[in-house]
A and B are shown apart, each in its own frame.
Chain A
Amino acid sequence: MADCKTMKCVKMFECYPKDLQYITNHEFPALPSEGAIIKVMSAGVCHTDVHMWTEPQKRPYIPGHEIAGSIHAIGDSAFNPDGLALGDKVAVYSLLGCGKCKYCIKGNASWCNAPPLENKALGLMTNGGFAEYVAVPLFAFLIKLPDSIEVEAAGVLGCGALTSYNAVQHAMTRIDPILSVRDRCGILVIGVGGLGLYAIKLIKALVLSKYGDRVELVGSDAIESKLRLASDFGCSKTIHLDMGCSEDEKLEKVKSAFHEDGPHIIIDFVGAKQTFNMAYKSALPGGVIICVGVHDNDTVEMELPTLIRCVIGIQAIYVGSLQQMKEVVDLVASGQMTPISYKLHKLSEVPQLMHKLKNGEIEGRAIITPHIEWVSNDTQAIGLSHFMKSDHVIFVIFFPFSIALYHFQYDMFCNGINKIHDAGDVIICTTF
């Protein structure tokens, strides 16, 4: 494997509606002297990929920025203070600006001042994780994964979970000041898709556990069926923002859901004109609106004097830093945060998946596993880690075509069996 000259990948050559291309003999990435080459074991498909597909920009490139895998090769001048070794499982921090400034090299790419065309973000502007292998320019961007995190769940930590964590961290800075002048602090989450659900889990683990009843967490969405998970993961109340209701009716619903007649902290994962409007009209004095979602690139309007009279704050969030990603990995490792549901797919399925994601036909996260060939179109192999903590029955089907694959699956299977056996669940498997 170490002498590979080519690899399989999915590359974007033209914009939507032209499909991405599945390539079996793409050039193998060059080893960056200060970085590493990662054997990709999981790459999440994110809505940003769809956005990049539909907007004009620099092409061609291999998408995929939610990457996790094992270390395949280490650059000669790589700075490796923690002594990571070949084969170690890592998650990749993929955010880069110019890649050279003091902000980029410290993992603070969101501060980089370079013009957009010089951006080197993996899987967005340069080759990323929809491939068997990916080059990571700086060794510091590899985060070692503890055994308690399954590698196929880890890739998504670098984008969705990271962005939500950044938003929640910001929200947390506002809670004590608010509780110093009010009995309770209300938090409204607008949009309970992937990111909204991560935020709810994080708020439950980091905020509700500390403040109890003094913080009210309310989730809201235009689609009623999504609210059930919001409730399960920690919201004390949910609000259906029915498309049929008038803006005033929705505003009334929001205000009445809170003990203090409104939320102090609003995290908007949708980012449409209407959601922003609702946010600033329902925010209580001294409150903050945290903008994460960017919907269809809406421009929002607000009346300055009204905002000023209510002493409102607004904070827009962009992914997160390397340090924050490490903290997210720790939270998942310690069990304080569990990943949301995902399904595994083959690399060759990416072109169709992009269409499906664009049309809103994917539930949970779609994760590509370039090195697991046995995942067929008819069989959904569900990540073992997701069910570690549940009572579900698992069907696992093996296609041991090669020794290497077999060992990989066997290890995973054994780990899985042991953990589930302890929890008392049932596992049924068939081998071909």
Chain B
Amino acid sequence: MEGSVCYTASFVNLSEHLRFPDLQLRKVSYCGVCHSDVHIWHRAPKLPIILGHEMTGTVHAIGNSAENAEGLSLGDDVLVYPWIGCEECKFCCAGRMDLCQRAWNPEMTIEIGCTRDGGYAEYVAVPKMKYLVPLPESIPRESAGMLACGMLTAFNAVRTAMKFIDDIMPITGNCGILVIGGGGLGLSAIKLFKYLVKTKYEKECQLLCADIAEEKLSLALEFGCDDVIHWPIGDSPEELTKKTMSSFPEGGPRIVLDFVGCKRTFTVAYKSILKHGKLINIGLHGDTAEIPLFDATTKSFGMQCVYAGTIQQMKELVNIFAEGKVTPLPYTVHDLEEALDLLLKLKAGQVKGRAILKLE
């Protein structure tokens, strides 16, 4: 659906925003272009909308009744947590904004870059101080935005996988992991697996990546994969399943992270996964998936969906990056005017690494 996406918002009138005493106004420095922006652009719950949810910037104005637990001041460098829920439901109150079901409600103004104006702009309003996380100096400003979305979601997925690995290891002594999709999230997951899992299970975990594009696979190898599997567009799910299974020492992967989420990736993931395997679904490409129940029970098949991440996880991620343990993905910096062009390129799978918009 073609919408009128306003991406050249210029200076926002300050007085308007101070009507909402809790709002914080942030001067956006950089904002990442994420595939979710492509999805939101096509299924926009609310129009017009300013896209952009991977934002870093400086505190520009603080609302009168703002609760400032972190003790932030004007000019402080911060990372914005955009997955704001409705703040009223039980999930939000328990800190699980990722489970809030109202965030996508077009009647409401909630999630930044989705139902609330976001970061493809010079300024953005953030409803509560608690959604701002201070950025340590050791983290480069340009790429830090990824920690709020791409990296955060990947971190959530990897953490989910790690719980399964801990359950599986005592029984099998080995675990093959397949990352489907070598885009921003897939590559982020590989970097995180390398630091969080391969350091502990060097030989016992095999980390592989599958993608339709060979150039992405070379990055996957560079970032820590033991091997890669090329899934050419024309190949049938049966051919891909055979290829994938034979790439693993146990005859298949035990854990699969699907960062694409289309029929073909789901089918190959399901068919190649081993007994008691766990398929982690993240990619929102958007298809129906099928599970043959009898087969699924004989395989003891398990599946866990992951969406975004909690603010607690984002803080942990900031610490990991601050210590320099994991480095950001390669990225390119662009002017705001290139936003539409980048969205089109991203949709066609032509962006390597992350594209960042510079707003300063």
**Which residues of A does B touch, CB under 8 Å?**
103, 108, 110-113, 180-183, 271, 276, 285-286, 291-295, 297-305, 307-318
CB within 8 Å for A298 and B293 given contacts A113-B251, A310-B305, A312-B305 = yes
16 A-B residue pairs with Cβ-Cβ distance under 8 Å, sorted by A, are A110-B300, A111-B171, A113-B274, A181-B94, A285-B100, A285-B101, A286-B91, A291-B296, A292-B297, A297-B292, A299-B292, A310-B101, A313-B302, A315-B300, A316-B297, A316-B302
A294:B101 contact, CB within 8 angstroms: no
A-facing mask of B275-304, CB < 8 A → 1, else 0?
A: 110000111111111111110111111111
Query: How far, in Å, is B39 (CB) from chain A's closest CB?
Result: 8
Determine the chain A residues whose CB is within 8 A of the CB of B297 once the complex forms: 271, 291-292, 294, 316-318
Chain A residues with CB under 8 Å of B281's CB are: 304, 307-308
The reply on B104 being an interface residue by CB < 8 A is yes
- A103, A271, A302, A317: the one contacting B289 at CB < 8 Å is A302
* Count of inter-chain pairs, beta carbons less than 8 A: 127
Is B41 an interface residue, CB under 8 A from the partner?
no
Residues of B within 8 A of A183 (CB): 90
Do residues A286 and B99 form an inter-chain contact, with CB atoms below 8 A?
A: yes
Taken together as a complex, chains A and B put the C-alpha atoms of A285 and B286 apart, in Å, by 18
Cα of A100 to Cα of B273 in the assembled complex, Å: 22
Residue of B nearest to A290 (CB): B302
> Which residues of the other chain, A, contact B100 by a CB distance below 8 angstroms?
285
Nearest-Cβ distance from residue B290 to partner chain A, whole angstroms? 5
A291 near B293 with CB under 8 A, answer yes
- The one of A300, A304, A311, A318 in contact with B266, judged by C-beta atoms closer than 8 angstroms, is A304
Question: Given A301-B290, A304-B287, A318-B297, do A111 and B172 touch, yes or no (CB 8 Å)?
Answer: yes
Q: How far is the CA of A206 from the CA of B131 in the complex (A)?
A: 40
Find the B residue at minimum CB distance from A173. B167
Query: Which residues of B come within 8 Å of A, CB atoms?
Result: 90-91, 94-96, 98-101, 104, 171-172, 250-251, 261, 266, 274-276, 281-294, 296-307
Please give me the 4 A-B residue pairs with the lowest Cβ-Cβ distance, nearest first.
Answer: A181-B94, A285-B99, A316-B296, A314-B303
List 18 additional A-B contacts (Cβ < 8 Å) besides A182-B90, A297-B292, A315-B302: A103-B171, A108-B171, A110-B300, A181-B91, A183-B90, A285-B101, A295-B293, A299-B291, A299-B293, A303-B288, A304-B261, A304-B286, A308-B282, A311-B306, A314-B291, A315-B301, A316-B302, A317-B300
User: CB distance A308 to B300 under 8 Å?
Assistant: no
On whether the beta carbons of B293 and A311 are closer than 8 Å, the reply is no
CB-CB under 8 A for A181 and B99, given A304-B281, A310-B305: yes
- Which residue of the partner chain A has the closest CB to B98? A311
Q: Are A316 and B300 in contact (CB under 8 A)?
A: yes
Q: Are B292 and A316 in contact (CB under 8 A)?
A: no
Q: Is the CB of B305 within 8 A of A307?
A: yes
Inter-chain contact A112/B275, CB cutoff 8 Å: yes
Chain B contacts of A182 at CB under 8 A? 90-91, 94
A181: which of B90, B283, B288, B303 is its contact (CB, 8 Å)?
A: B90
